[in-house]
Amino acid sequence: MTNESRPPFPPFTVETAAQKVRAAENAWNLQIPQKIALAYSADSIWRNRAEFLQGRDDITAFLQHKWANELEYRLIKELWAFHENRIAVRFAYEWHDISGQWFRSYGNENWEFNAQGLMQKRHASINDLAISDSERLFHWEYKTIRPEDYASLLDLNL
């Protein structure tokens, strides 16, 4: 048993599930892989698209590689559903590649938490859509959290 923890803890309520989702969104927008990895159990299992990862070292390396290729990344997550120690999330993020081509990536994640509030399983399905610069919707400052009054996915019809 670990003495690490990350509140709020399961079983989740609508309020605590939404807190988990916003905390994850904020962390990913700040893009500090080593810090993000601490929200996951030491033996956390991920499926991200067709990649399978296990443990914090894999998670950290994955995120470092991701943000070396997905430039000016900005993410919005939204609570979809929750039950006991599980949360389902839908999300969209915008980024560009090295050539300057912008993309909006859409997806869903299923999360499972241990009693200490650390994510022990993450399954993500993601699709990428090439967009023009004029189609971008996420315009807050890079590597900062989304402002509290910024539109949600629902507000943006995403």
> What is the reported pLDDT for 54?
98
* pTM: predicted TM-score of the whole model, two decimal places: 0.96
> What is the reported pLDDT for 44?
98
Q: Across the strands, what pairs with 74?
A: 94
Residue ranges and CATH numbers for the domains of the chain are: 14-135 (3.10.450.50)
Residues 6+ apart with CB under 8 A from 92: 75, 76, 104, 105, 106, 107, 153, 156, 158
Element holding 131 (H helix, E strand):
strand 119-131
Per-residue pLDDT of the chain (158 residues; tens, 9 = 90+): 446 999 999 999 999 999 999 999 999 999 999 999 999 999 999 999 999 999 999 999 999 999 999 999 999 999 999 999 999 999 999 999 999 999 999 999 999 999 999 999 999 999 999 999 999 999 999 999 999 999 999 999 99
| End-to-end alpha carbon distance in the chain | 40
